[in-house]
Amino acid sequence: DQQVKQNSPSLSVQEGRISILNCDYTNSMFDYFLWYKKYPAEGPTFLISISSIKDKNEDGRFTVFLNKSAKHLSLHIVPSQPGDSAVYFCAASARNQGGKLIFGQGTELSVKP
């Protein structure tokens, strides 16, 4: 049972344009959501997070949007840069279920110059 889904395995965007990565979840008890970025031969690194009490969180070029009624979140990167090319994982946790992170399958973003 995949509780967190990233339905797009890959995304290609032109440098300077917006990248939008999507994530859907099924567990309504999830109350904390995170995005991680992973380069080849490295472990995932934390990028940005959002609590379920918010619908938007911004950090520089990165913004995460949460739509609880649709059980959907998205990561916007504006403007996209070649250095953003990586695999992006969406993750979710439920504090009353132990708080462990459940990850999606990842979306590989390629930003072309």
Which of 89, 96, 98, 112 minimizes the C-alpha distance to 25? 89
- Copy the structure tokens of residue 31: 């109350």
According to CB under 8 A, which residues from 36 to 95 bind another protein? 36, 41-46, 49, 51, 89, 91, 93, 95
Our CA dihedral for 68, 73, 77, 82, rounded to 10 degrees, sits at 170
Which residue in the set 13, 21, 34, 86 belongs to the binding site for another protein (CB under 8 A)?
Answer: 34
Query: What residues have CB less than 8 Å from 58, skipping those under 6 apart?
Result: none
Strand-strand pairing, 32-38 and 45-51? antiparallel
Asked if residue 9 lies in contact with residue 105, where contact means CB atoms within 8 angstroms, the answer is: yes
Which residue in the set 11, 27, 57, 101 belongs to the binding site for another protein (CB under 8 A)?
Answer: 101
Which residue in the set 6, 19, 63, 80 belongs to the binding site for another protein (CB under 8 A)?
Answer: 6
- Copy the structure tokens of residue 11: 């995304």
Which residue in the set 22, 27, 79, 102 belongs to the binding site for another protein (CB under 8 A)?
Answer: 102
CB of 35 to another protein, least distance (A): 11
CB of 51 to another protein, least distance (A): 8
Which residues contact another protein by CB under 8 A? 2, 4, 6, 9, 32, 34, 36, 41-46, 49, 51, 89, 91, 93, 95, 98-106
